[in-house]
Structure 1
């Protein structure tokens, strides 16, 4: 494979990437999720059809592919990379890093890979156990590999690497489940040598501070925050401005979520839930903007950062646009970090608005759920906008955002903030009681960031909707949880074309050219996101029988796909005797250790098997072999060696009770 001319340049900017390629997560490092390709446009899209498809094995398919020189690269399951001839779907090579086997406890809160990157003849992928691996793009053979996190800490990597100026940047996750401190690391893209590391929250002052930025940030924390880790993980979003030599990172929630535990309920806690600008050469701090000072709801800001030039007050201004979880869309000066505007895009109860002078939120005091009170929080911790990408069309001047509209109740009842400690093992540990409350809707929103108003809005089925692609053909592509992949008119939101994938389509699409023909590719199937329940989707999904597919479309395509097999029936345990106290104990254990992957039995969203349809829980010996002994670790089922016989029995009691309930529901045995 010859190196494209643009790869030798200083950066992959919008103008340097050939129009037919999509070499990184957002295509270009301004992270627009936009392609200027226009062979498929509002007039021709009606002739779009399936050119080819590839069935994938069981595992997370919600990932962003890339395409360079007519070769498509994907990372699915636990970072299994495939190179595919983009014109016909012929598999060229496969690389399996055996990440599930290597991850150990980290596997408990890792759902695979969100994408890969291409640079200078290499493919870059990160793994659940924290490795960053460079592969030869022609052969799939490893060139180098580095461990970016501690082998036995709670950090895990799901994000797509970003590459600029010969550097590859990666962060990590894990703040929901472990006492960890976030950081971002840059490596030499040629040999994997570490170049710089920026911590996103300060550590123990007794150990000294790595930088002036960390000393400054420490003044916004209280108590012994470092014993809880702090959090601030940069697990998803990065953008790069080659003119300013600045990289922008979006940071996550605190560890734990509860501000009173983490920091005695005091201080802004920098740099949680922020966008932070760093010198791209050295990793040194330039400026920050914090969306949620003293964050306490999992309103992390690891959503896409779009770089654009907008006319503000009649003058061009370099800005970044981000819609984090908290329900607002923001415009920030990317040179200085100055606040420009913020507007709600969904129902918001935690704040009445954003102060136009200070840029700080005008909070509802009740939102901090203190003294055992309960507060209905809109948006939910899933966010008004989750990690599934938004897109910005510079010609239309619109940002297209997949919005979710739902709420959770928050309470600290029964939680002693002074004595709370992280569990000894990796498990969900937010330091707050949360439960579903109201709403379960969604929509695709076109937002004008200059006029600060909605251009159009299209309802989408159920809570989860897919990542977005905008094109020079005046089209917006998005998948739906009802199984449809849809093309909309970018100016009006009018649906112009759709394809029935028979399974939810949540992954972000891309478009590219190969041999002069424009293609659109998206991966179909669920998985890859924590806490998806059947209630959140518009169609039933079974982990075992749902097809996971790469779908590639072109004008005149005539390929066909087969619908999925019917889900297995609910497995009812005839010997089951309900024990209410055991069921309640088991439900608490299940919520901390199992829910984020499996959902409730009978309500799995497809990230892991629906335990109501599994023959494992009724058999005690098999259940113990799988859950405690790690018998299916290679398939992505973590080992929970610390569980006692009594705890295993309680979890089985809860699963079997929920299975009985699922069997009693109309249609539960055969959706």
Structure 2
């Protein structure tokens, strides 16, 4: 286990004060000194009462200091700040502690994850803090408690099973001396979702709650699973069922409940997973559990019988609202399916739901039943369907914020279609395989270039209407926070950190970070000074979904990954970063592409190359863009590198198992991609193709 220590630069870091982050402090929204949880405190509003930086003073906001993360590939997380120390998890769940005033590294803990055993190369998204310990979910399935002062691990538990499809990217949640963690992995098949609660002091398991039922022949763990099984048909347990809780979990101290946002089915295709229909509880649901026992209390299913990857694993924000003259204990929820929901936290009843963006799969939500009013054909009954939103959702994992001052919710949204086609797939002849992990046919063709866009939206949850909207670049931008200074902060994919007027959306301040980000900012104070911090860098899922980075010119190997910290009158200089760079594919007219070989090469590329060189050969990470490389033009040069390891010292692995015919097929696929005209639709199909190819690669890795 790697720990690197530094000198304590501020007395604020020296020890015991950090034990004060507990049930009382996380339940108190009035103290903005710390940002001690993924959503700042239990309500997950991501609203800070700090107002030193406000709409009048924000033009004085400047860089206080920055910290370069030269050897880290992903920075998608939101840091924590506790008693003058910033804690952040980056890359494969490496944890850093940095003095919040000086920017000096205090310690670094590396859980030493083996990248070759990773299910997915998503970045870790957050940490938890409780009574002097930092809690991190590690991508290989471990949950680790780290002493916040020394950086030394105090206990570690494996929350998954060795060699299974589960992985952790989400932040743990802490409450009642309990730490809760979920996992992802339903897109890989053979995964039955669950959440697990552990004792914060010892790591001993307290309870586990599965999100979908298992094989009835094995008996049910509880009455909730028996009830849920009535909504499934066929032999769903053979596919795992899915329902992973990979992101959103919110603790409610008023009811002593934990709310779980659950994910998609496995496979995605409902008719294959549950051939005689059924709602398939508790997929794509908000589920309330007793926080002490894990016993089921209530649920609300946003997408019954889901068939589109419409996760409900997005934020669940707690707020007290006045609706029709009556005070309501409300939950605000914007899952992937495109609707904004206001639920009653006491019993899960629907208060209201309206379309947040472009939604064509359903006309609306029936206010009596709470069920979507589906549009005929949306379930691709005729073999295919093009619907909005696609599997990326109108709102994804990038956090939203709620301001009790303005009464508005601030949401990073996107508009992008999804193509679904299950041609030739019937329950009687289909089985989950590495070639068809989701029960759907991929799509590689082209459509008009206006396929995707994004925005920052201010939404009124009481009137269920848009207050304002600001267009943002590309299709994927960072999460947001709101402050009592009447500001909304967001980091963007084009490399800009923006501050908007919370009431009007007007841009009040901007800073060029030198690289794009999808991470959410946070704010805190030390002494009498307020700070704003954000991680910036293009890696992780952005690296793999190459076109998302390519459209902004970010190349992971060339552009920085960094922590930036701002304060009023900050005057530090940001280290120079290369300007955006867009590789120019080589035409290579002398190379005659064989279509059959290119098709064969596509499958080989998906198994061996996509993880580094990007889906559809559109690089967005550390590895070069092969479309712009002269190496594939030469058989001898290509063989020397790919088969014989000529560039091992530069991090390029070799694959001696590839035959000469397979190497030749790879070259033809790369040259075919170099001549392909990339459009915005590639951003849509890239998501789908990436998932399929990654699943195939994982199956091959473990011999499945």
TM-score relative to the length of structure 2: 0.87
Query: Which residue of 1 is the match for residue 351 of structure 2?
Result: 340
CA contact 2:482–2:489 (8 Å) conserved in 1: yes
**Deviations along 1:101-123, whole A, 9 cap, x unmatched?**
4x61xx24231211111111111
1:92 and 2:100 correspond? no
Residues 191 and 485 (structure 1), Cα distance of their counterparts in 2 relative to 1, 3 Å cut: same
Equivalences for 1:32-43 in 2 at 5 Å? 32-43=45-56
**Aligned partner (choices 366, 385, 400) of residue 390 of structure 1:** 400
Q: Which residue of 1 aligns with 2:74?
A: 60
In 2, Cα distance between the equivalents of 1:218 and 1:596?
37
Between the aligned partners of 2:643 and 2:322, the Cα distance in structure 1 is 62
Q: Tell whether the 8 Å contact from 2:555 to 2:622 is kept in structure 1 after alignment.
A: no
State yes or no: 1:366 paired with 2:381.
no
**How large is the RMSD of aligned CA atoms in angstroms?**
2.8
Offset of residue 98 of structure 1: 1.4
CA offset digits 1:427-465 (Å, max 9, x no partner)? 882211244866211111101101111111111112111
Q: 1:588 to 1:464 in 2, by over 3 A?
A: same
**Separation in 2, partners of 1:136, 1:649:** 52
Match of 1:201 in 2: 212
Please list the CA deviations of residues 566-588 of structure 1 after superposition, one character each: whole Å capped at 9, or x if unmatched: 75956859795522112113324
How far apart in 1 are the matches of 2:236 and 2:97? Answer: 45
CA distance in 2, matches of 1:126, 1:75: 9
Partner of 2:264: 253
- Partner-residue secondary structure (3-state), 1:376: strand
What SS does the aligned partner of 1:306 have?
strand
For 1:281 and 1:291, the matched residues in 2 are separated by 26
Q: How does 1:597-608 map to 2 (within 5 A)?
A: 598-600=613-615, 603-606=618-621
Q: Which runs of 5+ in 2 are unaligned?
A: 1-13, 679-704
SS in 1 for 2:669: helix
Q: Partners of 1:108 and 1:544 in 2: how far apart?
A: 22
State the 1:229 CA deviation. 0.8
Structure 1 pair 605/566, CA: closer, same or farther in 2 (3 Å)?
Answer: closer
For the 8 Å contact 2:194–2:244, the answer to whether it is kept is yes
Moved more, 147-156 or 4-13: 4-13
> CA offsets per residue over residues 572-623 of structure 1, 9 Å max, x none?
5979552211211332454577657643456334486544356886623532
* Larger CA deviation: 145-154 vs 523-532: 523-532
SS at match of 1:585: helix
Q: Partners in 2 of 1:593 and 1:658 — Cα distance? A: 16
Greater alpha carbon shift after TM alignment, 38-47 vs 614-623: 614-623
The match for 2:415 is 405
Partner residue, 1:176: 187
- Alpha-carbon separation, structure 2, partners of 1:609 and 1:230: 38
1:420 aligned residue: 430
2:593 maps to 1:578: yes
TM-score normalised by length of structure 1:
0.91
Relative to structure 1, is the Cα distance of residues 568 and 292 closer, same or farther in structure 2, using a 3 angstrom cutoff? closer
Residues 277 and 99 from structure 1, CA distance in 2 versus in 1: closer, same or farther, beyond 3 angstroms? same
Distance change in 2, residues 1:555/1:298 (3 Å)? same
CA 1:523 to 1:261, structure 2 compared with 1: closer, same or farther past 3 Å?
same
Change (3 A) 1:221 1:508: same
SS of aligned partner of 2:541: coil
Q: Deviations over 1:2-32 (max 9, x none)?
A: 4448836435534167421011111112111
Deviations 1:619-652 (A, max 9, x none): 235324789xx979x97x9999998775565444
Aligned to 1:552: 565
Q: Is the 8 A contact 1:522 1:551 kept in 2?
A: yes
CA contact (8 A) 2:365 2:371 kept: yes
1:242 and 2:253 correspond: yes
Unmatched runs of 5 consecutive residues or more in structure 1: 664-671
2:93 equivalent to 1:79:
yes
Question: Which stretch shows the higher mean deviation, 553-562 or 578-587?
Answer: 578-587
1:280-308 CA-to-partner distances (Å, cap 9, x unmatched) read 00111111100000000001011111011
Q: Partners of 1:493 and 1:227 in 2: how far apart?
A: 49
The number of equivalent residue pairs is: 653
| In 2: Cα distance, 1:659 partner to 1:649 partner | 16
Query: C-alpha displacement at 1:662, in angstroms?
Result: 7.9
Aligned 1:613-632 pairs, distance under 5 A? 619-624=638-643
Match of 1:445 among 442, 457, 466: 457
CA distance in 2, matches of 1:185, 1:643: 41
Alignment of 1:89-238 (within 5 A): 89-101=103-115, 104=117, 107-238=118-249
Secondary structure at 1:540 match in 2: coil
| 1:2-13 correspondence to structure 2 within 5 Å | 2-4=15-17, 7=20, 9-13=22-26
**Cα distance change of structure 1 residues 570 and 600 upon mapping to structure 2, 3 Å threshold:** farther
Instruction: Give the superposition deviation at 1:317.
Output: 0.8
